[in-house]
Amino acid sequence: MLTKDVSKLGKVGELVSVRPGYAQNFLIPRGMAVTATPGVIKEVERRKEKERQRLLAIKQEAEAKKVALSTIGGFIIKKKVGEENAIFGSVTDREVAQLIEAKSTLSIDHRQITLPEIKKTGFYDVTIKLHAEVTATIRLQVVAE
């Protein structure tokens, strides 16, 4: 089992199979690994289960945010408008993140938000990546101020 990250071999806590000489002469003397005993293997399995539970909790939190965003419905943002309903400037991901936080008290990082190019008033679908496997879509309406 590795006790330190070793390039091209593995990360901390992983069980890896190496040749006996490499383990005895290099990894173990340098404190990069320990011999896999039943106790060590049990500890590795416990850590893996704990990490799996943590990742599952993060995914469930993202699912809850997705449900909360879908129940709110649409979001309205007001912008100054010129000719032919063209807006001055553009709508930014930071503005959308602040709008979501103000309306729903959900904290969304602006880097998770993907906006289409918004140049005119109207309805737009905004994609929010809450987790690697969870993506929410909200309806954004841009209206004249």
pTM: 0.71
CA angle 28–30–32, rounded 5-degree value: 65
The 10s digit of each residue's pLDDT in 9-41 is 999 888 899 999 999 999 999 999 999 899 988
The 10s digit of each residue's pLDDT in 39-84 is 988 988 898 899 999 999 999 999 999 998 888 878 999 999 988 8
The 10s digit of each residue's pLDDT in 95-113 is 999 999 988 888 889 999 9
pLDDT score for 28 = 94
Closest among 57, 60, 68 to 138, alpha carbons compared: 68
As beta bridge partners, residue 86 has: 120
As beta bridge partners, residue 131 has: 134
Q: Are 139 and 123 in contact (CB under 8 A)?
A: yes
Is residue 85 scored above 90 in pLDDT?
Answer: no
pLDDT score for 50 = 94
Let me know how long the chain is. 145
Q: Are 62 and 135 in contact (CB under 8 A)?
A: no
pLDDT score for 124 = 93
DSSP symbol at 88: S
Domains, the chain, ranges and CATH? 59-144 (3.10.430.100)
SS3 for 110? Answer: helix
